Chain A
Amino acid sequence: SQTIHQWPATLVQPVGSPLSLECTVEGTSNPNLYWYRQAAGRGLQLLFYSVGIGQISSEVPQNLSASRPQDRQFILSSKKLLLSDSGFYLCAWSSELVNTDTQYFGPGTRLTVL
C-alpha cells in the first residue's frame, strides 16, 4: 500500500531563516506531487505541483520554492522566511495507477515563524 511521510511535524523558525520541508511517498511510482498551505481556520491553497522529476509548476508567486530531486521526494524551501509563511503545510500525491485522480495527503507540517 502507499504511504506518504512529511517531516518535521512541527517547526518554529525566526523571520529571515531558511526552510526545508520534506515529503516522501512509498509504494507507488511516478506520482504527481503537491504542496498545499493552510492558514489557521482556512481552506487549502495549492502552492506547487509536480508531474515528474525536475518538473515543478508554481501556482502562487511567493517566498517559497519547490524541488523534486527524486521520483518520490518533494521538497519545499525558502531562503528567508516571512511572518506570513506561518501555516500548516500539506504534501499530497496522486497517480493514474491508483484511483486516477484522488489526492492523498501526508500528516502535515505546522510551521510557526516568529
Chain B
Amino acid sequence: AQKITQTQPGMFVQEKEAVTLDCTYDTSDPSYGLFWYKQPSSGEMIFLIYQGSYDQQNATEGRYSLNFQKARKSANLVISASQLGDSAMYFCAMREGRIYGQNFVFGPGTRLSVLP
C-alpha cells in the first residue's frame, strides 16, 4: 500500500494566488514526521517545511504553511502569493518512528505551474 499519496499529478495557479497541494499518508506509528520538498528543473531537492506528529500547531515557513489534519491523515502544503519561481515538482515525504534510514518515504510528487 502507498504510504504517501499525492493525488494531483499537475496543478496550475495564477501568479499571486494561493495554492494547496494535497498529501495523505498512512502509518500506524504514533511518532512520525511529515516533510515537503521542492524540486525545480535543476534537480536539487529543497527542504521547505516540517510537521511533527505531536506538534499542536500547523507549521509555517514564510509563504509556506502545512495544513495538518491528523485524524484525516492529511498534510497539505499551502503556498500563498504564488510566484513564477514556485513552478517546480513538490514532494511530500514521511518519516515513521525514530529509526533513521528506510523509514523515510516520498510520494510521487505534484508538478506546479505558476502562470503569469
Contacts and interface: CB of A to CB of B under 8 A. Distances in A.
Interface of A: 32, 34, 42-44, 46, 49, 51, 57, 59, 88, 90, 92, 94, 99-108, 110
Q: Is the interface on chain B under 10, 10 to 19, 20 to 34, or 35 or more residues?
A: 20 to 34
B45 A94 contact: no
A43 B107 contact: yes
Contacts of B43: 88, 90, 107-108, 110
Contacts of B47: 102-105
A49 B45 CA distance: 17
A107 B102 contact: no
24 contacts: A34-B101, A34-B104, A43-B109, A44-B91, A44-B106, A46-B101, A46-B102, A46-B104, A51-B100, A88-B43, A90-B43, A94-B100, A99-B50, A100-B33, A101-B33, A102-B33, A102-B35, A102-B50, A103-B93, A104-B47, A105-B45, A105-B47, A107-B43, A110-B43
B101 A107 contact: no
Nearest to B32: A101
Contacts of A49: 100-102
Contacts of B50: 99, 102
B51 to A, nearest CB: 11
Contact of A43 (B42, B95, B106): B106
Nearest to A106: B44
Interface string B31-54: 001010100001111110010000
